[in-house]
Amino acid sequence: MDYLPISYERFKKEFPEIEKEYEKLANLCHATGPLDEKMRRLVKLGIAIGSESQGAIKSHTRRAVDIGISPEEIHHVVLLSLTTIGFPKMIAALNWINEAFEEGPTKHFGGD
């Protein structure tokens, strides 16, 4: 599956060795600790929402769907952000998540 924003694909192409080491670090972070994959995916989505990163929100939404996380569970993560990040930012995240659902799992998209 292709989850990555175009900007990350460019980074990967321009700096392959750095991206390879970054990927190793990301894998090590995922493998360290007691959280299962579903919980890690929901946490990563929540972090993306909090950082207001369109590309990360779409990427983590696609990854979540790919492992069987339901749209209802993903929407719950967005709703949980409301009282922490505020209504306008929550709505933006909700829009990006819905765009990711509409675009499907393999479509490239712009953003961070």
Residue 89 domain flag: yes
Per-residue confidence of the chain (112 residues) as pLDDT tens digits? 456 677 888 999 999 999 999 999 999 999 999 999 999 999 999 999 999 999 999 999 999 999 999 999 999 999 999 999 999 999 999 999 999 999 886 544 433 3
Residue 108 domain flag: no
Number of domains in the chain: 1
Residue 73 domain flag: yes
DSSP letter, residue 44:
H
Distance CA 36, CA 31 (A): 9
Residue 109 domain flag: no
Q: What is the pTM of this model?
A: 0.83
Taking 3-state DSSP, the helix, strand and coil percentages for the chain, each rounded to the nearest 5, stand at 75, 0, 25
